[in-house]
């Protein structure tokens, strides 16, 4: 069955080359951020200034694609003007929609740029239709990105009870915590996704070869220790091994990626309007590979010529770029919880 609306493929662009390869390989939309704390991937060497953003928007629009700007961190009193200025700059650039989390910023955008389309960021932590409808009624949001916490039946129930388009994460780094409701990084390093746009930031990371193995630390806190021959992963603090009641294990989450490719027909059936690929911090090569596979899968689904089947080659390609080279269905699969 062909869904009433085509599913949009929303791909990450941490740089102009990533943006171009996402567009070239079939992204319907790319999402990006400015080079500062106004977005949740505020990493050195990533993101756009006004000039590269204008070029990116031109590149996408020339090819009939859209550009979404993530302004999804929460400004404080002292830095509020940087965020509102970023909204104005984005509007001047001809961005197609803003991805916002902060209600105050939504009100500003609605008042200052009434025709600009607003998306509720996953950082808004809206997990129920009542929460989503709050933003719809107050600010007229067009779309909401769901946190990675709901089961498929719950996603379906949300969609049935809101006029707002629903976007879900399809692939990439997996936040095990509700986005926007996690201050673990702030606790360990003083910098959080909510306020600084960074989780477990690189400047606090230390890799150290010791007699006990390779140790990874975040602001001095031991996140994991790897034996010789083990692949030492980046110390994202929820993906370390810790000691609980004398047992050492991945107490919160394994280093793994979300991959919902096999759920694609179900996501379409329940009325999901867009699939988001995580990874603005990843390389253009990652963006190329993931975009290609998801474009092929969505096209296959929408061609409606044969029953949808996940190609083994697709999964192999995606596993190559997965964190920890493994993947999970996350909360869509109930036992994961």
Partner 1 sequence: MKLALGPLLYYWPRQATLAFYADMADAPVDIVYLGETVCSRRHELRLSDWLEVADILAAAGKEVVLSSQVLVESESDLKTLRRIVTNGHFRVEANDMGAVRLLTGGDAPVADWIAGPTLNIFNPATLGMFAELGASRWVAPPEMSRQQIAELRGGLGQPMEVEVFAHGRLPLAFSARCFTARHYNLQKDTCEFRCLQFADGIPLKTREGEPFLTLNGIQTQSAHVHTLLGDLPAVQADGLDILRISPQGEHTAEVIDLFRQALAGQLQPAEALRNARPLLPEAPCNGFWHGRPGVEQLVTA
Tokens at 116, concatenated? 């600009």
Sole residue written with tokens 């756009």: 48
How many CA within 13 A on the CB side of residue 5? 13
Nearer to partner 1 among residue 123 and residue 289 (C-beta): 123
Residue 186 or 296: which CB sits closer to partner 1?
186
Shortest spacing between CB 81 and partner 1, in angstroms = 11
H or E stretch covering 91 = helix 80-93
- The DSSP result for 9-54, as a single string, is EEEE-SSHHHHHHHHHTT-SEEEE-BSSTTSS---TT-SB-HHHHH
Q: How many CA atoms lie within 13 A of 156 on its CB side?
A: 11
Specify the residue, 33 or 124, whose C-beta has the smaller distance to partner 1. 124
- Please say which residue, 16 or 195, places its beta carbon nearer to partner 1: 195
CB of 251 to partner 1, least distance (A): 6
Cβ 118 to partner 1 shortest distance, Å: 15
Comparing CA positions, the residue from 201, 238, 204, 203 lying closest to residue 223 is: 238
Nearer Cβ to partner 1 (269/336)? 336
Nearest-approach distance from CB 49 to partner 1, in angstroms:
25
Helix (H) or strand (E) holding 193: helix 193-196
Q: Minimum CB separation from partner 1 for residue 244, in Å?
A: 5
Footprint on this chain of partner 1 (rule: CB under 8 A): 74-78, 80, 101-105, 107-108, 124-131, 133-135, 137, 148-150, 154, 157, 176-178, 180-184, 186-190, 192, 194-195, 219, 221-225, 238, 241-245, 247-248, 251-253, 331, 334-337
Q: Give the N- to C-terminal CA distance of the chain in Å, as an integer.
A: 30
Least distance from partner 1 to the Cβ atom of residue 230, Å: 13
Residue 161: CB minimum distance to partner 1, A: 9
User: 46 or 106, CB closer to partner 1?
Assistant: 106
Q: Quick one: CA dihedral 133, 139, 144, 146, positive or negative?
A: negative
Q: Which is nearer to partner 1, 226 or 308 (CB)?
A: 226
Q: Cβ of residue 285: shortest distance to partner 1, in angstroms?
A: 31
260: which 2 tokens?
């919902």
Q: Which is nearer to partner 1, 53 or 182 (CB)?
A: 182
Mention every residue, 6+ apart, whose C-beta is less than 8 A from residue 307: none
**How many CB atoms are located within 10 Å of the residue 263 CB?**
21
Report strand pairing: 205-210 vs 213-218: antiparallel
């Amino acid at each position: 069955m062909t869904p009433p609306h085509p599913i949009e493929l929303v791909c990450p662009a941490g740089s102009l080359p990533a943006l171009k390869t996402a567009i070239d390989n079939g992204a319907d939309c790319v999402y990006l951020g400015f080079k500062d704390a106004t977005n949740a991937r505020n990493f050195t060497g990533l993101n756009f200034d006004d000039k590269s953003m204008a070029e990116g928007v031109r590149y996408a629009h020339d090819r009939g694609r859209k550009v979404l700007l993530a302004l999804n961190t929460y400004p404080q009193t002292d830095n509020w003007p940087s965020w509102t200025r970023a909204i104005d700059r984005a509007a001047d650039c001809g961005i197609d929609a803003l991805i916002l989390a902060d209600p105050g910023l939504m009100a500003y955008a609605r008042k200052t740029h009434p025709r600009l389309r607003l998306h509720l960021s996953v950082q808004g932590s809206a997990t129920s239709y009542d929460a989503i409808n709050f933003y719809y009624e107050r600010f007229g949001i067009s779309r909401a990105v769901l946190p990675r916490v709901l089961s498929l039946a719950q996603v379906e129930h949300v969609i049935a009870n809101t006029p707002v388009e629903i976007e879900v994460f399809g692939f990439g780094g997996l936040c095990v915590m509700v986005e926007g409701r996690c201050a673990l990084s702030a606790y360990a390093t003083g910098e959080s996704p909510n306020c600084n746009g960074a989780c477990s930031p690189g400047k606090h990371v230390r890799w150290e070869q010791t007699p006990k193995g390779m140790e990874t630390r975040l602001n001095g806190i031991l996140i994991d220790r790897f034996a010789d021959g083990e692949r030492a992963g980046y110390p994202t603090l929820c993906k370390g091994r810790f000691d609980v009641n004398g047992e050492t294990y991945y107490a919160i989450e394994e280093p793994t990626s979300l991959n919902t490719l096999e759920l694609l027909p179900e996501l379409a059936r329940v009325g999901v309007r867009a699939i988001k690929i995580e990874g603005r911090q990843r390389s253009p090569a990652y963006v190329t590979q993931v975009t290609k596979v998801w474009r092929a899968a969505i096209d296959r689904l929408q061609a409606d010529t044969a029953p949808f089947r996940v190609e083994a080659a697709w999964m192999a390609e995606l596993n190559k770029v997965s964190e920890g080279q493994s993947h999970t269905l996350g909360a869509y699969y109930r036992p994961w919880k």
